[in-house]
Amino acid sequence: MYNADRPSAEELPSTRQLIRSTLIAIMSAIAILFTIVLPSEYGIDPTGIGRALGLVEMGEIKMQLQEEAEQDGHSSIGSHQNRQTANVSFVNRIVAALLISPAAAQTTSPEWTDEIRIDLERGQGAEIKLVMKEGGKAEFLWVSENGKANYDLHGDGSGKKKSYKKGRGVPGDAGTLEAAFDGNHGWFWRNRDKQPITIILRVRGDYTDIKKYL
């Protein structure tokens, strides 16, 4: 049986090249950590880049939703355990970020394809739908400025209907919407606060059109 020839010493990377590649990978990972991971996951923005890209709002929403979940029906012991779990998760994410290759820095795109603002008076409602194919995925981030809103994330089309998620008195939400079937998938908001609010929705992903029902 023929075995492939082993590479010669001249063909192998030198120690200096390996060290240089390792340092580049570490520097790229640190940059991703401070400009993307910390702002989008924890609302921490030491460089100011995360806020300019709209990632800080996503992180703040996630942290607030986590705090509300801990306070909702959890004992003090359970909350303490949740905080410990969150701290472990935080450390794990930092370690993972430090292992990201330089290629990840080139493929990560923090830009949103569309941003929509909707002003809602007290009691007023509005709906935004994405036209999507079954299995399509769309990342989203929405916040409610100057107050909180009730919302229903749902879809309809192809003779089908589906409710993905609902909330009452929510300051915002973020995540990935995966279409269960061909059709229109999106959000209905209603202002149940005491003053006018503004819904800001940012989306990107697998959709062909956006429909507004005001």
Return the CATH number of the domain spanning residue range 114-213: 2.60.120.680
| pLDDT at site 46 | 75
* Residues in contact with 11: Cβ distance below 8 Å, sequence separation at least 6, in sequence order: none
Residue 158 has a pLDDT of: 87
pLDDT score at 4: 47
- pLDDT tens string, the chain, 214 residues long: the values are 444 455 555 555 667 777 777 787 778 778 777 777 777 777 777 777 767 666 667 767 766 666 665 665 544 444 444 444 444 445 455 554 454 444 444 444 458 999 999 999 999 999 999 999 999 999 999 999 999 999 999 999 989 999 999 999 999 999 999 999 999 999 999 999 999 999 999 999 999 999 998 7
Q: How far apart are the first and last CA of the chain?
A: 73
Coil/strand/helix, residue 37: helix
Q: Where are the alpha helices (DSSP H) in 48-129?
A: 49-52, 55-71, 76-97, 102-107
pTM: 0.54
* CA distance linking residue 201 with residue 206, whole number of Å: 16
Tens digits of residue pLDDT in 54-79: 666 776 776 666 666 566 554 444 44
> Structural domain boundaries of the chain?
15-107, 114-213
Please give the biggest Cα pair distance in the chain: 81
